[in-house]
Copies of this chain bind each other. A is one copy, B any other.
């Protein structure tokens, strides 16, 4: 994937929490100790390569590095690629070198992170590719794996997508239930504005054109068209006429996404790019020893 001119997506991550997530994952796998790796004498060094077993976009190398460094700070981590780059089957993504025992101990955790995030980046890239040429953003949702949201939203950015709000706390989303409870779209928006910081936006979810007009009158910052037909979306875009951002949502697939992009919406949000991405398959291959000096595993 050609790297975009956007600031490196890595920079938006909170590095401070990554160590904690990786540490937990290592604890989960190692528990009271790796009974297999402990059999290997501690003077055996090895070098191993993370190799892609299919085609896709890489995301999450920092987690591979952290996994091995937390386990054993003497391990060298050598990235051969960077997050955001495309791989073909057989490409070496990164290498690690150090005590064979430590490499074996971290292998599964490192791959579990990298495969999952690369899977999300890859799926996102497919969606982004599908709308090429249209000025529309592919964004994620809150349908992420519990306790991995920060990582999965990062993978979406790596894949060329953008993020929607990070949680319930950083933007208002007014849905039908809020509207029923508060009386009307305009009343809901008014109450939201009165309660929230002036630094925060209000998004309204609508299902028909009448609601589009009401949300527009209520001066919503973003209007989300939920499960509307492409025809209605097109009309909604015309009604809104740049007075609010327009987001399309609901059952977005590779089949219909280009059609939706053509309606002129600003943003298309998809849960599938995170919750149904699958993994990008990889393996950790140990280098063969070919002399009696170096890697003897």
Contact = CB atoms under 8 A, between A and B. Distances in A.
Contacts of A65: none
A26 B146 CA distance: 8
Contacts of A165: 197, 199-200
Copies of the chain in the assembly: 6
B275 A275 contact: no
Classify the interface of chain A: helix, strand, loop or mixed: mixed
Nearest to A170: B170
A148 B146 contact: yes
A49 interface: no
A44 interface: yes
B137 A168 contact: no
A109 B146 contact: yes
A14 B24 CA distance: 13
A7 B191 contact: yes
Interface of A: 5-8, 11-14, 16-17, 21-42, 44, 46, 70-71, 100-101, 104-105, 108-109, 111-113, 115-116, 137, 139, 142-150, 153, 162-178, 180-182, 188, 191-192, 194-201, 203, 221-222, 245, 247, 266-267, 275-276, 278-279, 286, 296-297
